[in-house]
Amino acid sequence: MNTQVLSLGKQRGLSQCANDQFVFNILALDHRQAVKKVFVDQPDPYAQAVAFKRAVVKTLGPAATAMLLDPSIGAGPCLADASMPGGRGLVVTVEASGYAGPGHARVSRLPEDWSCGQIKRLGASAVKLLVYYHSRAETAPAMQDLVAQVAEECGRLDIPLFLEVLTYSPDPQGARLSPQERIQAVVQAAADLTPLGGDVLKSEFPVDVKSQPDPGQWADACQALSQASQIPWVLLSAGVDYPVFAQQTLVACQAGASGILAGRAIWKEALGVPADERDRFLQTTGRERLQELQSICNQYARPYTDFFRPQDLAEDWYAAYPGVQAA
């Protein structure tokens, strides 16, 4: 495999998001609608959603290598009151919530009031972009253009880009992907999109585990994903129950993943319960889950540094290092 030169800013950002073994155990908490709807009947839903995210970040942040947060409910409030641990990486979402268009031709969008430049100015370690993608969907070329656009901006700003891809069925009649089509969709998305830019791929588990529950069938699909991706990849949890996700993490890391970037499988039982019950869960079960996942990643995950090499710097390298223009 040919390694890529990793620029200084991106090298610094990725190192902030990983541990000293260069693997990722990142906790995802960039969920917006899923969190807000839990508190919709409360007198102040925003304040309740912020309180939940602050509690998760304060309790679980020290056990993760980094946190993935949205700007409105997560990153802003958690930085404002120092809930976000200073010694952990911070990845911030850039895309608008949800997607536009019909279910068989989904369109990811950038908001008008938020940008990669603002994420850089915030002091974040990295940007995260989510795209909905299927190679046969009519919107596939537009999504490829979006990835290239955001990757170019992150390159200009010298900040790493975590590229999250969620696949779906392009059938206008709404037919679900078959188990084999699911694997093909996830692997093809990695093959199509990772050459366009991005520094880490945040991927679904390629196997529909409800249709193929035998872990013995999972390894080949994860190895195919590793071969298709030109950048390191990490596994998202997609809300599966924790025991299933722990199995997925083991298989994925043994097959070449560089760790995880996962959320609901770790903390979903803490959402919507009284604060004291929430805090007990986070302090016990939540921490134990992250620690177990870290152990798996440390033992089996592929270091992201396998994909990159540092720049060769002359004594006066800084003279040609570009400044950052205003967002």
| Residue 240 near residue 265, CB atoms below 8 Å | yes
| Residue 128 near residue 202, CB atoms below 8 Å | yes
> Which pLDDT score is estimated for 56?
97
Distance between CA atoms of residues 96 and 107, nearest Å? 10
Distance between CA atoms of residues 207 and 27, nearest Å? 22
> Which pLDDT score is estimated for 325?
60
Q: What is the pTM of this model?
A: 0.96
- For residue 35, the one-letter residue type is V
> Which pLDDT score is estimated for 311?
85
- CA quadruple 71, 75, 77, 78: dihedral, nearest 10: 170
Q: Which residues contact 39 (CB under 8 A, 6 or more apart)?
A: 45, 48, 49, 52
Helix (H) or strand (E) holding 61: none
Domains delineated in the chain: 4-305 (3.20.20.70)
Residues of the chain with pLDDT under 70: 1, 324-327
Q: Which residue in this structure is represented by tokens 């760790």?
A: 259
| Residue 260 near residue 235, CB atoms below 8 Å | yes
Burial (CB count <10 Å: 0-12, 13-18, 19+), residue 174:
exposed
> Which pLDDT score is estimated for 263?
96
Q: Which residue in this structure is represented by tokens 């120092």?
A: 82
> Which pLDDT score is estimated for 1?
63
Tell how far CA 134 is from the center of its chain: 18
DSSP states of 163-229: EEEE-----TT-PPPPHHHHHHHHHHHHHHHGGGS-SEEEE--SS-TTT---GGGHHHHHHHHHHH-
In 227-282, beta strands by DSSP E: 233-235, 259-262
Alpha-carbon dihedral sign for residues 308, 124, 133, 205: positive
CA nearest to 192, candidates 232, 136, 244: 136
CA nearest to 124, candidates 159, 90, 100, 148: 90
